[in-house]
Amino acid sequence: MSDIAVAGLLIAALFLILGSGVWIGLTLSGVAWIAMQIFSSRPAGDAMAVTIWGSASSWTLTALPLFVWMGEILFRTRLSQDMFKGLAPWMQSLPGRLLHTNVVGCAVFAAVSGSSAATCATIGKMSLPELKRRGYPDDMVIGTLAGAGTLGLLIPPSIIMIVYGVSADVSIARLFIAGVIPGIMLALLFSGYIVFWALRNPGLVPPADAKLPFREKLKASMSLIPVALLILSVLGSIYAGIATATEAAAVGVVGAMVISGVQGSLNWHSFKEALLGATRLYCMMALILAGAAFLTLAMGYIGLPRHLAEWIGSLGLSKFQLILMLAAFYIVLGCFLDGISMVVLTMGVIMPTVTAAGIDPVWFGIFIVLVVEMAQITPPVGFNLFVLQGMTGKDLLYIARVTLPMFFLMVAAVLLIYFVPQLVTWLPQQMAP
């Protein structure tokens, strides 16, 4: 049977089982079992047991539930209100004024969350009612929030980076550090767009609040100290080489509990809700990762990744053409799958091709995060769109339309990191070995 026929059969099985409503993790395991049973001589049951156990017991993966738990704890604090109070006075003098709180707020919360949906929801709780009350246009408020919410994936600690690091066997600490400059760059692109829009439409920007003296601005900024300390403890410990990503995640959980306790939002009910929320989310992720690990093993036995890499190599594509093709592939895939599923489902097949093309796996990880970010704001399976639909009651296509400028800014960010790869690679090279 030819490779094309085998791949077609497995893809058909994948979509058939997914379409019948089976969980993604179980679907991946099922397709892998079919592949091993039909096209390989190794016993499928034995391979499944060994691979799933190895995937589930990975020490590196321990960082994932801890960062998820940290985000869940912070989601239940007064952090978003305090952030608005601390940021708003500094934004009043910029063109676009308080619209920038969406971008800066998302960037700051992203540095302690790791989740795009949690970032979007937490900052949305704060900014949507406040900006609406002050008369800012709905399309700009919702569009900038949807776009900036994706910073939760790029600015470390990032759940998707952990998933990529485990799937592609890349240092998670280096991925985290590599995401810092592109994350800041993307936030600046979003803020630059707000400035451009405000200068073109000055009549749509509400008047500034009464000007505060510098001392009052500093006093308001005191509310940002807890989150700044948490960012410093988590990312600083990784950057300095003091802690691994997993140890830094444990520091983050303790820090999040301290912040919650100081703010008075940590009680038995909120602790239990955060723990159960993190457990549910991680169990879903772990099942997907285990299924993907088994599918990757099955693909290896069949030889599909190697044959695909050889086929792409035979096309004679330049590195830029390969990146464009992969970007288009992931954006289309993102219309049907969530980010984690996209990464774990494709890494086993894509990484041999990427390695053969001489692409730095750390750089490729940041590229993957950027294109997954685009998928977060493309219908029909754009999670940030769903979050905002639930918060605003607006139509999904309306939200997708007002978010379109942010999508094109992400395309610009991908081109920037391609033509200036040092934006990604410089910081990891400075890291302590």
pLDDT tens, residue by residue, 390-427: 778 888 788 889 999 999 999 999 999 999 999 999 98
Distance CA 92, CA 220 (A): 14
pTM summary value: 0.78
pLDDT bucket at 433, cuts 50 / 70 / 90: low
pLDDT tens, residue by residue, 245-287: 788 888 888 988 888 888 888 888 888 988 898 888 788 777 8
Angle at 415 between CA 333 and CA 198, to 5 degrees: 100
The C-alpha R_g of the chain, in whole angstroms, comes to 22
Using DSSP's 3-state secondary structure scheme, residue 421 falls into coil
Is the Cα torsion angle 92, 126, 232, 376 positive or negative in sign?
negative
Which CB contacts under 8 angstroms, 24+ apart, belong to 285-288?
285/64, 285/68, 285/159, 285/163, 285/340, 286/25, 286/56, 286/61, 286/64, 287/23, 287/24, 287/25, 287/26, 288/24, 288/25, 288/28, 288/340, 288/341, 288/344
pLDDT tens, residue by residue, 120-139: 877 887 788 888 888 889 89
Tell me the two tokens of residue 234: 């988590």
Would you kindly state where each structural domain of the chain is located, as residue ranges? 59-288+304-430
Q: Cis link prior to 157 (omega < 30° from 0)?
A: yes
Distance CA 357, CA 206 (A): 51
Q: What average pLDDT does the structure give for the chain?
A: 82
Using DSSP's 3-state secondary structure scheme, residue 26 falls into helix
pLDDT tens, residue by residue, 74-110: 777 777 677 777 877 888 888 888 889 889 888 888 8
Beta carbons of 182 and 255 less than 8 angstroms apart: no
